[in-house]
Amino acid sequence: MTFVPKPNISDDSSQKEISAEIETVGNVQQHRNRIVFEQKNEAPKPEENTELNKSTITAQVKAVLTKLDYSTAGILLGLKNSGCPFNMTRHIKIDDCSGQGFYDYRHQTINLCQKHWLKSTNEGELREFLVRNLVSAYDHCQTDISKLSEEQYLDFRNCSQIRQFTLSKTCDYEAEGSSKMKEDGFKFCVLENSSSSLENSLPEIYKTENIEDSFRKVFLSCYEDKRPFDRVPTSRRDWELALKDLTFSGNRAKNPAKTY
């Protein structure tokens, strides 16, 4: 309680009145202190409702995968034909991370970063992200990474990164901002996007020069690796024909997987 100096009063009645006032002031101060103390010790309210946020993002993913386009349907069918069917409950994870997200090779999940996808309502961006990471899931299904050496694993990861941009709609000639005026703009787009995202997607144990050497070594063969399709789709018509061929030809897992 705040110190209050004792008044110099001789009258008993006045003394009682002042004492009562002092007691009142003290009680008010104690009440205020109690409120401040309780406020300080009150658990902070979370800025976001984690479960609600996860449900929101999960609903967005479900909407994209329900409304299939050629690229999404094609890679999902490729996974199914290869014996690794996609299961949204098992293979999608909402994570507390930075950026859009990543494919987790350890747990075989596509991890979406909560902060990014709560702010983004762009269905095209989400579809493109999912298709790219489904390509990595397909490559993982086709390759037993436990049997790869450190150098082979680096080549494998580089290759899958290149295929992500080759077999998604990121570099479609018909996509907004595509490099139509460049000679072989599709290849340039794949090269530019895959090379710029390498260091962020690979384990820190790899040195920059090793990553770049590996990338140069595998780029052309991985750019031309069209599995699970019969072509590298560069336009809507290509995607339509590729999906039609994949649907009627059945299991394309007989196509030899890359070995490193």
Q: What gap in Å lies between CA 101 and CA 113, rounded to an integer?
A: 5
Question: How confident is the model at residue 205, as a pLDDT?
Answer: 79
* Residue 236 scores a pLDDT above 70: yes
Question: How confident is the model at residue 121, as a pLDDT?
Answer: 81
* Residue 256 scores a pLDDT above 80: no
* Residue 128 scores a pLDDT above 90: yes
Rounded to an integer, the average pLDDT of 126-131 is: 96
Report residue 226 CA to chain centroid gap: 24
> What's this model's pTM, rounded to 2 decimal places?
0.74
In the numeric block, the tokens 């703009």 are attached to: 185
More confident residue, 128 or 13: 128
Decide if 15 contacts 33 (C-beta within 8 A): no
Rounded to an integer, the average pLDDT of 111-133 is: 94
Q: What is the pLDDT confidence band of residue 112, given thresholds at 50, 70 and 90? A: very high
Angle at 157 between CA 223 and CA 210, to 5 degrees: 95
Question: How confident is the model at residue 25, as a pLDDT?
Answer: 45
* Cα-Cα-Cα-Cα dihedral sign, residues 133, 191, 171, 240: negative
* Residue 50 scores a pLDDT above 50: yes
Give the side-chain half-sphere CA count within 13 A for 165: 22
Secondary structure class of 102 (helix, strand, coil): strand
What is the phi/psi pair of residue 251, to 5°?
-75, 120
Helix or strand (DSSP H, E) at 165: helix 150-166
Decide if 249 contacts 77 (C-beta within 8 A): no
Alpha-carbon separation of residue 60 from 127, 133, 231 (angstroms)? 10, 16, 30
Instruction: Share the mean pLDDT of the chain.
Output: 80
More confident residue, 49 or 78: 78
* Cα-Cα-Cα-Cα dihedral sign, residues 197, 202, 208, 213: negative
Amino acid making up residue 83: G
Q: What gap in Å lies between CA 16 and CA 78, rounded to an integer?
A: 91
Q: How many CB atoms lie within 10 A of CB 143?
A: 19
**Pairing between β-strand 101-104 and β-strand 109-113 as defined by DSSP bridges:** antiparallel
Question: How confident is the model at residue 196, as a pLDDT?
Answer: 85
Q: What is the pLDDT confidence band of residue 178, given thresholds at 50, 70 and 90? A: very low
Amino acid making up residue 32: R
Q: What is the pLDDT confidence band of residue 5, given thresholds at 50, 70 and 90? A: very low
